[in-house]
Amino acid sequence: MILSGHEIENQLGKNIVIAPFDPARLNPNSYNLSLHDELIVYEEVVLDMRKPNRLRRVHIPPQGLVLNPNQIYLGRTAERTETRGFIPMIEGRSSIGRLGLFVHVTAGFGDIGFCGYWTLEMFAVQPIRVYAGVPICQIFYHEIRGTYTEYCSDKYQNNTDTQPSLLFKELNPECLNDPQRQLPFGIESSRE
C-alpha cells in the first residue's frame, strides 16, 4: 500500500524526514524532490566496475546546463530524506519524462532505514537544459509486511553528497579496510 500525501505529512518528524520540506511540493501520494546545483560526470571512456573511476564535478549555472545524449550524469536531490518503517522509492516526474530525461537508470528503489540524499542517474534522450532547484523527481512510500532489518551500508548510508558507484568495494573487499582506496580518485571541480 502506498502512503497518501496526507499520511506522508502526518509521518513527518516521526518515520519520515524530508529536509527541507515545502508543503507546496506535496502531491496526492508523493512529494516532489528538487535537483541540487552540481552534477558529476565520469571521465573514463570505459567504466570499470572493479575500481573507482575518474570524475569531474560540474556546477549548474543560473542559466541552466545542457545535458547531452549518451552520457550519464550523476546528480542528487537538494533534500535529505530519512525513512523508518516504510519503503521509500523515487520516480521521475511525468513532466520531466515527457522531455526525454530519465532521472534514474535503475536505482529508484530505496530501503527501510535509508538516510541521505538520493543520487540521480540522469540520462537524456536528446539535448536538454536543466536547472538547479527544479522539482525533478517524486518520492513515495510503501508499507511493508513482516519483520525487517533496516538498511545499513558502508557505501551509501548517511551520504552528504552525490555518490558515484562504489561497486568496487564489493568486488574488492580489501578496499573496505584501506582508506587510500575507498574514495574515487581524480574528482575535479568545474564551474561551467
Give the C-alpha separation, 186 to 8, whole Å. 40
- For the segment(s) 5-43+67-164, the CATH number from 3.40.50.2300, 2.40.50.100, 3.30.1370.110, 2.70.40.10 is 2.70.40.10
**Predicted confidence band of residue 131 (pLDDT cuts 50, 70, 90):** very high
Domain ranges of the chain: 5-43+67-164
CA dihedral (122, 126, 129, 134) positive or negative: negative
What is the Cα gyration radius of the chain? 17
**What pTM was computed for the model?**
0.86
Section 111-119 average pLDDT: 93
Query: If you count them, how many residues does the chain have?
Result: 192
**Predicted confidence band of residue 174 (pLDDT cuts 50, 70, 90):** low
Catalytic residue among 121, 150, 174, 188: 121
* Annotated catalytic residue 121: yes
Q: How many CB atoms lie within 10 A of CB 188?
A: 10
Give the C-alpha separation, 157 to 164, whole Å. 13
Smallest CA-to-CA distance from 128 within 92, 89, 79, 90 is with 92
Residue type, 105: V
Smallest CA-to-CA distance from 123 within 148, 95, 151, 104 is with 104
Question: Distance of CA 88 to CAs 112, 120, 121, 131, Å?
Answer: 7, 14, 17, 25
Section 7-15 average pLDDT: 97
**Predicted confidence band of residue 189 (pLDDT cuts 50, 70, 90):** very low
Smallest CA-to-CA distance from 94 within 174, 11, 30 is with 30
pLDDT at 176: 53
Section 60-79 average pLDDT: 97
